[in-house]
Structure 1
Amino acid sequence: CHDKYGRDDCGLCSLSPQKREYCPCGRTPIVEIRKEVRTSCTDPIPTCKNVCGKVLLCGPKDKPHRCMQLCHTGSCSQCPSNTSINCRCKALKKIIPCKEFVLYSAENPYLCVRRCKKLKTCQNHRCQAICCVDEEHVCMQICGKKLNCGIHNCDRLCHVGQCPRCLQASFDEQYCLCGQTIREPPIPCGTSLPPCDQPCSRQHSCDHPPMHSCHAEPECPPCTVLTQKPCYGAHEIRSNIPCFLNDVSCGRPCDKKLLCSVHRCKRICHPGECLVNNASCQQPCTKRRVGETCDHICGLPCHGDTSCPKIKMVVTCSCLRKSSEMRCSDVEKAYQNLPCDVECQRALRNKKVAEILNISYSSAVDAISYTTFLKNKVETDYKEISDIEDTLIELVHDLNAQPNITSVSHSFPPMHSEMRRIIHEYSGYFGIETISHGQEPRRNVVATAKRNVSYVPAVLLTASKKNAATSSTSLSSNVITPSKTLPSIQKNFSWTENKMQQLQSVGKVLKRGFKEPFVLQK
């Protein structure tokens, strides 16, 4: 019997002929299928040829799946279809086989792997539940923070705000540290020691009488009695120094002997070692080079008791154009100077010609030598370099025209790296400082001319290009040849103009005070 659960009388069997008049699918009467009449519940129930069609547990709620087998007895087999299912928090929707769908129920819901991450009521912890559907996330952790007494911990659930004051109490008497003052119980937990008016009875680092009362703080206030104490280097005894101060500097040089045994410390009176971090003495050596051909002071960084190295001197030629460094012992062998070369002779000749013509002359004319990069660029980018040159000259003139300022700046427009390099290198010949700003491709250069530093060079880069061939021809002749057109010069020309006509073979002449140099015409 399928309906008997420990009862003696279970009633009429559900498979009895009186209760089962139709086939298992419920569409066809049994009498139409089987001629023999069932007499007991143990007789088999005949099946028809129709599809079962019973409603299964899978499929959508409005259109559930049905059994597709022919009419049969017993439970229906597993559905071969798929069913869409939502997780408990409705964040995930998934299609799964019907045989898996029937395993889930309200007591055993389908769960996604998404964690809640919502703040709990304590506003400190977050919910870590998977596929959470709770509307209020109550934190169930114990607070556990130290209470105001500093001894006990909070035993409430994790909460917002401060913990309540400790409710524990002591029923023992409480004394101050010196034992002169007493507080009667009950004493709430965390109560500080009772105040006491008696002098502090603790041990102190000095022998002065205490100026403060008995206290509960672990450290005593500093002693402020004025005393006399020596400075760091024991140079003098300082007066009116509070007792608690142990660091006293007199402000004088330390003057202690250093480890090199040669110099003394020049630092202001200080604590600790004179040379920190095992540093070596860097003061200049003051020994004289006795026994050598010279009698110079060494001047090199301190090298202790070791012998002084050879010192170098600057030696020049007779016209002071060339210079070089030589050791003292080699100067005498070189007859105290350097020999002049062809460039020295050319510079001397040009200087004498300038004196004859009564015009100003600067040795910078012969000393200027532009870099190979600038010489190559002036051949290919003459117009751009000419514009840069005009800007730099104008920058120097603007500075000279305003005596009340010390510097003038100019911001060039953004340009590529090669043009910026031209500005950086060419500005050096003007004594102008340059710096780049910004990021590519909007990077630009800012040039700054400074008073008593910036100037216009005697020979400009563009002038050196225009007169390169003429200059090489005239310099090789070693003579200043007057122009053939001198006899035809009109009488109303000034003597200065005639002198400048004579210099036309030298090339371009820069007239100070003008932006552009001018060329003497033949």
Structure 2
Amino acid sequence: MKVEARCYCGRVGRQMPCYERGEPKQSYSPTENGCFEGSFSCDQLCQRSFDCNVHKCSKPCHAQDELPSHCPYAPDAVTHCPCGKTPLDTLLDQPRQSCEDGIPHCDRPCEKLLPCGHLCRAECHIGDCGFCNGTIDVSCRCGRTSTRSVCHQGDVQQPLCMRTFQANLSCGRHKCGEHCCQGEKRAAERQAARRKNRPAGDSNSIEPEHICIRTCGRPLKCGSHECQQMCHRGPCGSCPEAIFHEISCDCGRTVLQPPQPCGTRPPECRFNCRRRPSCGHPPIDHNCHPDDVACPKCPFLVEKWCACGKEKLQSQPCHLQAAHCGRPCGKKLKCGKLCHRPGECEDVGLSGKHCEQVCGKVKLFCEHPCQNTCHGQTPCNESGTCPAKAIVSCPCGLRQKQVKCLASGSNPTPSRPEIKCDDECLRLDRNRRLAAALNIDPSSHTNDHVPYSDTTLRLFKENLAWAEAQEREIRVFAKSPNEVRMRYKPMTPTCRQFLHVLAEDYGLESRSEDVEPYRYVIVFKGPRFVSAPSKTLAQCVKIRETQAAEATATASRSQSPLLASVNDPFNGLLLTSPRFGLTVEEVKSALGGDFVSQPSIHFAVSFLPTEEVLLRATTQYSAFLSPSALGQALSSLRPRLAKTIERTDLAGNILLCHVDSNEHVSRREDLSKKDAAGWSAVAGRAAARSGTSTPTEEPPARGTGRKLLGLRKKTVDKEEKPWAVLGGDVEC
């Protein structure tokens, strides 16, 4: 609604909408000598004279007072110079008399605050300050570069550098590509936080400059429309369009009524297909299907002639296009070969056709078959190099490599790379010479040693397929001379445990890094690594199964195997639960000082299939040391060896045993039985009885009639018997 309104100075009046009026103010009109209410500014200069009637107000339209304003240039209003730093009394000899007298200036700088924030550097002056002449550092929009420029008078316009930012937008498909991007710094911080696996924020954490506003435009699942949403991550949603016509199956008996979402496929029909096979046989019952899906093949058996036309085959499937008898055609071609099938070779009596089979004749220089097309009875063309593969090996034949033959008529013996024997070749040659010296047949010799721990074999059997793949990968890593470190993907704790124990069996170093669920395993070669074990985990599992079967069969054949050899004295020592990776040299070096105490006995160290270490005792002076005496010597030596084994942690325990010539343990020490049998048990029980007998009182002294209490005959320390150290706990 329009109303009558008047400006604050009273010179302009007009009709204007009510909502455009400003704050009502009381004002005075000198021409009308009365007050009125002003509601807007006319933006004209006031031009009302001050009380001096010389100067006029230069302010824009404002509310007026009844009395004119005091002149701002009056002597009582101006007491300092224009900059306000120096009083006029120090600049003038006599005070100003009227507002028309000039206002003197001082020699100091103005230093009034300019709109740009700097101070005015001009000399003291009247009126407004001029433009700022200072210089400032202006950075570009992305903040990577800065330049020195004249002050922008408070309105700083940031320049653009030529750097193009290539960060991904919010959709992940497009890049920024803008010169001097304003959000580059925040995008770099966001990407750094993502690389450090910090928790990702919501979608609003992406800076506004890098929100992709393009249309997605990817084809939807319906195949007829494109996604019209703003570019986004992940798959597009369903098509929002609808279909307003019926959707039926191929036979038309199953129909979906409209409306249906765009992309709806024809419904599955439960009725039988109406198509009839072209062969004329009855059709097979099957559901209705589209035209691009073929009907099932005809299963009826019929008689068909073979491709060569010599035999009529019975019970041939009807859907076969051609039947073959599998015998050669028998017709001789011009090239000398026998035809196999019409169309492949040259038919007898027809001209213009040639045999298209491979020649297959042995070449003259390299003895490889000729791979050219059949050329009849003419010699093979060997002017070009032979493309076949040839095998080059080291002198011992272990290391082999496939190279191109490259033999030709002009170069019958081409130069080929020379392969030298490596450490593995030398090791196998040493083993062959050692087997020849010891009369060992390598073909019949079996090694049942398992180089893997029980934990490794157990974890291998729990996840067989995955563990075999990891074993192949770590074998390739172990054989590669250039690879030193290998990192696996994050996996479960059980899988990481398998990799750790497998690396320990290989002599490799391993460790786990990061936190769940991103924890992964790193395997690297350390000073302990020599080479990969010769046996695979699958082979060792079979060896363990074979050993368990043999042990079960042996136990079933003999219910009490120890009774048959009760009277056999001990002739060896057995180390049970030996340390992993223990060698014969380590056993000899650790127990050599104890073996010196029995110079007449020689100990042979060997490993049994049961993962126990056998110390078989033999003597060169059998005439002077009987089997029973040998057993007594071993019994006296056992405590000393037990202390050494406990100190060096070679094995879990040491037992006395009896072995035959084939290193089969027929009897071993049983520490679980308290009531032992044999002469050593008798001696043990006798010692126990003597040790536990209660002391008896001495007979009273004669003649005095008094009894001496606490006096006993002093026992004499006798020489300890060899079997006394057994404590009666050994079954002989």
TM-score band by shorter chain is 0.3 to 0.5
Q: Taking CA–CA contacts closer than 8 Å with sequence separation of 6 or more, which of the two structures ends up with the larger relative contact order?
A: 1
